[in-house]
Amino acid sequence: MVAQPVMTAEEWFDGMRHARPPTADDVTITWDGRRLDSREAVMEWLAEVATRRAEEAADADVRT
């Protein structure tokens, strides 16, 4: 079973559009140290996650 996102990136951005900009210490930092401090950075990271999930799903299909 493939996990489904709770909300889309667009829904998240829409909910955050009235928020103040993040401070230097108020951003998400991934396990590999990447700072998700802009829309572009988040969209790139989400695309990588989607690719990884698709690869994992394809690998699971091959094994079954």
- pLDDT tens column, 11-26: 988 988 888 887 778 8
Rounded CA separation 8/11 (Å):
5
Summary mean pLDDT of the chain: 87
pLDDT value of residue 53: 95
Phi, psi of 36 (to 5 degrees): -95, 75
- The Cα-based distances of 23 to 6, 38, 43 in angstroms read 26, 12, 19
Rounded CA separation 63/59 (Å):
6
Confidence tier at 45 by pLDDT (50, 70, 90): very high
**The residue to which tokens 């396990």 are assigned:** 31
- The Cα-based distances of 46 to 12, 49, 61 in angstroms read 12, 5, 22
